């Protein structure tokens, strides 16, 4: 038991140093960070203008007011922020850099779990601005929805955002893993981006078949819409904590199983 705990601590320590090295690389080009931050702020302003324009003409969307829709959007931004920081670079680089260019070789020879190494060396600190944007949107929406803003509520939506990011991360990683079997430099994450955009709105606007798809097949609804319903009125989704824990467990097991099979199938770049 002690040796297993010691190994776990060593793994986290090395992962932290991997992440610090990535931060040093990113900060070598500070203007990239600044320009990306400004672009994110502009994009957010355009999004809010879009919502404001819609709600000038309609009082609500299937019973959701503008602050409630912004709450969903803010939670989606939090989930997207955690996806971008923790998982997205790994999913985007897996096919081209690691599999086709055979950079996975150096990962597999190290005495650490390969998937853990991939995640740690691809942490993207530049996209922490997306997290900040999500916090601003959620807090604004809570204030205008009459929800209490206190340490407990902040901790709640922070945890929901992190869980949503893990759901997104698992789905993107599973999509990227197709590259172990079908070699393609472009990767296979494009469809996941489209699905992620589609669930930034209340689930009630979709027919039952679409809601079921985003709940049971590709559970994108747990990244924003369902957590927002739980925050607005827990009776709308009373079992959300249990549902979310189940979704995360199933996705985590799927990612581990698929990547273990993928690493075994990996053939390097031999001639």
According to DSSP, residue 265 is labeled H
Judged against a pLDDT cut of 60, whether residue 271 lies above it is answered with no
Judged against a pLDDT cut of 60, whether residue 203 lies above it is answered with yes
Residues 6+ apart with CB under 8 A from 112: 11, 14
Q: What is the pLDDT of residue 26?
A: 63
Distance CA 168, CA 88 (A): 9
Distance CA 69, CA 231 (A): 12
From residue 200, give the alpha-carbon distance in Å to each of 31, 80, 139, 206: 30, 11, 17, 12
Please indicate whether residue 40 or residue 72 has the higher confidence score (pLDDT). Answer: 72
What is the rounded average pLDDT of the residues 233-260? 95
Structure confidence at residue 150 as a pLDDT band (50, 70, 90): very high
Judged against a pLDDT cut of 70, whether residue 37 lies above it is answered with no
Structure confidence at residue 17 as a pLDDT band (50, 70, 90): low
Q: Which helix (H) or strand (E) holds 22?
A: helix 2-27
From residue 268, give the alpha-carbon distance in Å to each of 11, 40, 184, 265: 25, 37, 14, 9
- Residue that has been written with the tokens 């827990």 in this structure: 234
What is the rounded average pLDDT of the residues 7-23? 65
Q: What is the pLDDT of residue 23?
A: 63
pLDDT above 70 as % of the chain = 83
Judged against a pLDDT cut of 60, whether residue 67 lies above it is answered with yes
Judged against a pLDDT cut of 60, whether residue 2 lies above it is answered with no
Domain spans, the chain: 2-265
Judged against a pLDDT cut of 70, whether residue 170 lies above it is answered with yes
Least confident residue range of 1-5, 125-129, 198-202, 251-255? 1-5
Please provide the size of the chain in residues.
Answer: 271
Judged against a pLDDT cut of 90, whether residue 24 lies above it is answered with no
Structure confidence at residue 16 as a pLDDT band (50, 70, 90): low
Please give the structure tokens belonging to residue 29.
């080009």
């Amino acid at each position: 038991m002690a040796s297993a705990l010691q190994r776990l601590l060593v793994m986290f320590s090395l992962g932290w140093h991997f992440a610090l090295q990535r931060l040093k690389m990113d900060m070598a080009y500070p203007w990239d960070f600044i320009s990306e931050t400004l672009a994110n702020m502009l994009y957010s302003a355009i999004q809010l203008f879009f919502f404001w324009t819609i709600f000038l003409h309609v009082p609500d969307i299937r019973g959701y007011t503008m602050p409630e829709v912004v709450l969903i959007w803010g939670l989606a931004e939090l989930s997207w922020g955690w996806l971008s920081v923790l998982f997205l670079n790994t999913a985007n680089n897996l096919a081209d850099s690691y599999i086709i260019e055979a950079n996975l070789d150096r990962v597999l020879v190290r005495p650490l779990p390969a998937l853990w190494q991939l995640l740690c060396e691809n942490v993207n600190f530049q996209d922490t601005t997306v997290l900040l944007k999500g916090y601003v949107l959620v807090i604004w929406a809570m204030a205008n929805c009459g929800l209490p803003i206190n340490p407990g509520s902040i901790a709640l939506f922070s945890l929901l955002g992190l869980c949503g990011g893990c759901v997104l991360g698992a789905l993107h990683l599973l999509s990227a893993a197709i590259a172990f079997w079908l070699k393609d430099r472009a990767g296979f994450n494009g469809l996941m981006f489209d699905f992620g955009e589609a669930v930034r709105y209340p689930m009630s606007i979709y027919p039952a078949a679409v809601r079921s798809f985003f709940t049971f097949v590709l559970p994108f609804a747990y990244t924003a819409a369902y957590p927002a319903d739980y925050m607005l009125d827990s009776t709308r989704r009373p079992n959300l904590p249990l549902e979310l824990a189940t979704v995360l467990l199933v996705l985590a097991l799927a990612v581990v199983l698929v990547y273990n099979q993928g690493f075994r199938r990996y053939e390097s770049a031999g001639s």
